[in-house]
């Protein structure tokens, strides 16, 4: 895909994080800008990472009783505005269709900013009795929100790929369990597949999903010290079931309003992968979600070409048979040095170099993307070595990211220290909060940091609110965020 | 999903085909109407069929070197209008976005009616050298075309799920091969998985894709005698590469315009499944794409409940271990008669009835959905019997549909006979054509039948044009179509 002249990343991650990020996205072939400002095209390599994420989640959703379905992208304005608070939250960024061909359509149609209202108008028809519950539906689609702020591929774009789950339950408790089960599926994906540690907990009322009773979240910390919200799972209570009349006839032969949840993750997760694991050479992908786990580069002069390529192809088949996503780069029009740079930029976790001398010695050389370490392997042990190295890379990416998160979580004693940390080094800042919106708002205005998450784990709660000094009700994590 | 009171299909297929179709769609839980006219919601059971189709195709596309990617749904008007003929073809049915929030956007944005123009504006940036070719990309998304005619779920809706493939090649021949390879992948899917026979060939110039050099098609015949276009694969020649400047530097160090193809199938294929195989009881699904291949219904009084359900669950696991998509319907709130009707309506190919007497005798009873035939099977041979019956159902659906297609393909000798066939019984009508658009147009005005396909296979070409009596250049298939 890249042309011969395609240069490597020339921005340094620690000097100009934003420019470095953009270069990784474009040069590793993950995405490209679309003709309309704020929109991106997901290129095949980026899409393959999205497919890894999608397939993992899809399997988990199905195992836990969810089914996929499809809703139109167009939502009538009257429907979108049925839950007032929800509508007010989304309306400034809604794209509106007003014409079909040359004809003005009657009521204008919103491009799906999220599907609660449309889904629930339909669910109301499907649910009549307790026998129809729970209803657990997921949609893999894209959402559209006109972004006024500066856009950033994967992190903030006017259209994004995501999944949105919507469930309906007979009881509040069952909805509560669903919210937490989904959050746990997300945590497992993000931690054990994307190798990104996160803090889980509640959003403050000021930051929760518009229309939710409460929102739970997973917050990650990027290499530049800014937080990223990586997924949310909402308890909607009966806030939607009442206006949308989602009612069921119970075993008690009485009508009840149902309890609901909604939840989603998006291609933001690809942004997190870049910003947590990437380095000056480009992307570093965790083996579990890497479209190519091992790339094999034959190194040869013309006279050895056939011998070396045949052996490289043999290794490729051997790895593939063992279930490893391997790729032999046999292109003649590029030098091996050029190939090394390209596959490093694309973050392939392991490379095998194979040349005539390796073949003579019955060996091959592995090169780890994360540590650049070189490892010799006997030909007979290739699959074993590959599997061990992949597992090791997966683990070591997570533990490195976890160490970074811990090192960059501060606990200031005073508001002046708090401000200086946010200004000087960023990261997560754990502080006490009195639970008054006023303090939350003031801190945000002063420092640009907001409450990212109120952790479930509350055992280290500071005694006083970091802003007003009154008794603290909760330990919360502040940060500047994407 | 269905409520207890959900009745069966009460329209007869041979009396009111259109009403029968709508009832199958709604009552089998495939789809539902959306709040905006002309749009539908794909329900979980319908989506599961779409997933079967998608997964089969996706694997074939990847095996043949295609990669998935994602494009935004919004296309600037200036881009859409870059290829004039193409634009003129689509513009009457384009949905236009004119506002974001309260702001009028500058240039209006089209909702993707198809992605040629957007894709090619991006491909032009990616392709510089012969090294970048071929580029073979597929998009799984939805397309939007405001339907003025009466809409029909799956067959004609203002938004539909589909895949659109777009490839770029160095030579015309390579593009030609791609067009035919894709058509063959479609044919294999439609024939060997959907059990729907089709005729393959070219579209006439009057019916080809707007902007294509030529279009190849697969035409199926529905049970009411009307034709359905099931997939198309287009050779675009250089019609788009020139306005979009998709050029590459050849090995000859000269610049060349590239050659292109595009191709797609949509959820229409679900419509075809219904209209080819369905009967008065509802859907009949070919085992290869059935989300549930075998449903097991335990039949018992209260006292035997545990025994029978345990055995039914055992059978379910056994079938699942053998790779069969089995489902045990253990719901207590429905009678077995109700369950029989529901699973028949949903078209599950095989049912196993199991009761206390079957358990005593070490047997189980299979019921075929297609023929209603009952088959006793020894308990030990259950998996074998299921596999054999499923293979047999798959084959017999195809051969029945093929017989229907053959019986309903006529070869009239005169135009009056032609008109009478179209009027009286429909079906495919094979006739000679002089290749003049005038005759094609007159026949269409007279009879409502158009040229569905100019078959690749031309050995039975009639001598004269059915309309004007001049020498016939091609044997073509006329039909009234969806």
User: Does domain B292-391 match CATH 3.50.7.10?
Assistant: no
- pLDDT tens for B398-432 read 999 999 999 999 999 999 999 999 999 999 999 99
Evaluate if residue B355 carries a pLDDT over 70: yes
The average pLDDT across B282-296 equals 98
pLDDT value of position A6: 53
Q: Which of A4, A58, A70 to mutate to test the interface with B (most CBs of B within 10 A)?
A: A70
Average pLDDT over residues A429-440: 97
pLDDT beyond 80 at B151: yes
Q: What is the pLDDT of residue B66?
A: 98
Instruction: Output the pLDDT for position A447.
Output: 97
B12-20 own/partner pairs: CB under 8 Å, 24+ apart: B12/B280, B13/B223, B13/B278, B13/B279, B13/B280, B17/B223, B17/B224, B18/B152, B20/B278, B20/B280
User: Do A3 and B44 lie within an 8 Å CB cutoff?
Assistant: no
Check: CB of residue A421 under 8 Å from CB of residue A462: no
- Looking at the predicted structure, is the pLDDT value of residue A25 above 70? yes
Q: What is the pLDDT of residues B95-120, one digit of tens each?
A: 999 999 999 999 999 999 999 999 99
User: Please, which pLDDT band fits residue B6 given cuts at 50, 70 and 90?
Assistant: low
Pick the CATH number of A17-277 from 3.40.309.10, 3.10.20.30, 3.30.930.10, 3.40.50.300: 3.30.930.10
- Average pLDDT, integer, range B449-465: 95
B interface mutation test: which of A6, A33, A35 has the most B CBs within 10 A?
Answer: A35
- Indicate the class that CATH gives domain B409-479: alpha beta
> What is the pLDDT confidence band of residue B9, given thresholds at 50, 70 and 90?
very high
Average pLDDT over residues A132-156: 94
Q: Is the pLDDT of residue A449 over 50?
A: yes
> Does position A1 have pLDDT exceeding 60, yes or no?
no
Statement: residue B287 has pLDDT above 60: yes
Q: Is the pLDDT of residue B89 over 90?
A: no
Q: What is the pLDDT of residues B54-78, one digit of tens each?
A: 999 999 999 999 999 999 999 999 9
Whether residue B3 is predicted with pLDDT greater than 80 in this model: the reply is: no
Kindly report, as residue ranges, where domains of CATH 3.40.50.800 are found in chain A. Answer: 292-391
Q: What residues does CATH 3.30.930.10 cover in chain A?
A: 17-277
Residue A73: list chain B partners with CB under 8 A.
73, 111, 142, 144, 159
Closest residue, chain B, to A333 (C-alpha): B131
**pLDDT tens-digit map of A170-189:** 999 999 999 999 999 999 99
**Segment A374-388 mean pLDDT:** 96
Q: How far apart are alpha carbons A22 and A219 in whole angstroms?
A: 22
CATH code 3.30.110.30 region(s) in chain A? 409-479
Write out chain A residues lying below 8 Å of B131, CB-based.
Answer: 3-4, 331, 333
- Cβ(A388)–Cβ(A375) under 8 Å? no
Backbone angles phi, psi at A219, to 5 degrees: -115, 130
Percent of chain B exceeding pLDDT 90 equals 94
| Average pLDDT rounded to a whole number, residues A222-237 | 98
**pLDDT for position B91:** 87
For residue B9, give how far its alpha carbon lies from the nearest alpha carbon of chain A (Å): 18
Give percent of chain A with pLDDT exceeding 90. Answer: 94
- Mean pLDDT (chain A) is 96
- The 3-class SS string of chain B reads CCCCCCCCCCCCCCCCHHHHHHHHHHHCCCEEECCCCCCEEECHHHHHHHHHHHHHHHHHHHHCCCEECECCCEEEHHHHCCCHHHHHHHHHHCEEEEEECCEEEEEEEEECCCCHHHHHHHHHHHCCEHHHCCEEEEEEEEEECCCCCCCECCCECCEEEEEEEEEEECCHHHHHHHHHHHHHHHHHHHHHHCCCCCEEEECCCCCCCCCCCEEEEEEEECCCCCEEEEEEEEEEECCCCCCCCCEEECCCCCEEECEEEEEEEECHHHHHHHHHHCECCECCCCHHHCCCCEEEEECCCHHHHHHHHHHHHHHHHHHHHCCCCEEECCCCCCCHHHHHHHHHHCCCCEEEEECHHHHHHCEEEEEECCCCCEEEEEHHHHHHHHHHHHHHHHHHHHHHHHHHHHHCEECCCCHHHHHHHHHHCCCEEEEEECCCHHHHHHHHHHHCCEEEEEECCCCCCCCECCCCCCECCEEEEEECEC
Confidence grade of residue B147 (pLDDT, cut at 50, 70, 90): confident
Q: How far is A264 from chain B (nearest CA, A)?
A: 18
| pLDDT score for B1 | 38
- At residue A3 the predicted structure's pLDDT band, cuts being 50, 70 and 90, is very low
**Confidence grade of residue A225 (pLDDT, cut at 50, 70, 90):** very high
Q: Which of B79, B100, B255 to mutate to test the interface with A (most CBs of A within 10 A)?
A: B100
The pLDDT score that the predictor gives to residue B217 is 98
- Whether A94 sits inside 8 A of B100 (CB atoms) is yes
B132 neighbourhood in chain A, CB within 8 Å:
1, 3
Nearest CA in chain A to B111: A97
Contact A118 B35 (CB under 8 A): yes
């Amino acid at each position: 895909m890249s042309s011969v002249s395609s240069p490597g990343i020339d921005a340094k991650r620690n000097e100009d994080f934003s420019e470095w990020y953009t270069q990784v996205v474009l040069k590793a072939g993950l995405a490209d800008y679309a003709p309309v400002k704020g929109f991106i095209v997901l290129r095949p390599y980026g899409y393959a990472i999205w497919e890894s994420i999608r397939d993992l989640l899809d399997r988990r959703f199905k195992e836990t009783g969810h089914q996929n379905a499809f809703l139109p992208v167009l939502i009538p304005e009257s429907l979108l505005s049925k839950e007032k608070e929800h509508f007010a939250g989304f309306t400034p960024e809604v794209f509106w269709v007003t014409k079909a061909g040359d004809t003005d359509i009657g009521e204008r149609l919103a491009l799906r900013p999220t599907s609660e209202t449309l889904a629930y108008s339909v669910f109301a028809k499907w649910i009549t009795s307790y026998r129809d519950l729970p209803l657990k539906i997921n949609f893999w689609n894209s959402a559209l929100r006109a972004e006024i702020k500066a856009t950033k591929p994967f992190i903030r774009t006017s259209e994004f790929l995501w999944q949105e789950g919507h469930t309906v339950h007979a009881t509040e408790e069952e909805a509560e369990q669903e919210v937490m089960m989904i959050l746990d599926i997300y945590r497992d994906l993000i931690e054990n597949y994307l190798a990104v540690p996160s803090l889980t907990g509640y959003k403050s009322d000021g930051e929760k999903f518009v229309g939710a009773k409460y929102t739970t979240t997973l917050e990650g910390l990027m290499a530049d010290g800014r937080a990223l919200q990586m997924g949310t799972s909402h308890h909607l209570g009966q806030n939607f079931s009442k206006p949308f009349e989602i009612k069921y006839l119970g075993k008690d032969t009485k009508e009840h309003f149902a309890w609901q949840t909604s939840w989603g993750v998006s291609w933001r997760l690809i942004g997190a992968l870049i910003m947590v694991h990437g380095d000056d050479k480009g992307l570093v992908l965790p083996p579990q979600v890497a479209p190519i786990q091992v790339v094999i580069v034959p190194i040869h002069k013309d006279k050895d070409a056939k011998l070396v390529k045949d052996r490289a192809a043999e290794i490729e088949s051997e790895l593939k048979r063992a279930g490893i996503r391997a790729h032999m780069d046999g292109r003649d029009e590029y030098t091996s040095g050029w190939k090394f740079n390209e596959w490093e930029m694309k973050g392939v976790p392991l490379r095998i170099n194979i040349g005539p001398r390796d073949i003579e010695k019955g060996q091959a050389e592995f090169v780890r993307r994360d540590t650049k370490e070189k490892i010799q392997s006997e030909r007979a042990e290739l699959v074993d070595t590959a599997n061990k190295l992949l597992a090791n890379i997966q683990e070591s990416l997570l533990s490195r990211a976890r160490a970074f998160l811990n090192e960059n979580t501060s606990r200031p004693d005073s508001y002046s220290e708090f401000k200086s940390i946010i200004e000087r080094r960023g990261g997560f800042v754990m502080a006490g909060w009195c639970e008054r919106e006023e303090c939350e708002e003031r801190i945000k205005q002063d420092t640009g940091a907001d409450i990212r998450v109120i952790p479930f784990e509350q055992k280290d709660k500071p005694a006083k609110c970091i802003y007003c000094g009154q008794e603290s009700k909760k330990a919360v994590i502040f940060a500047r965020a994407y």
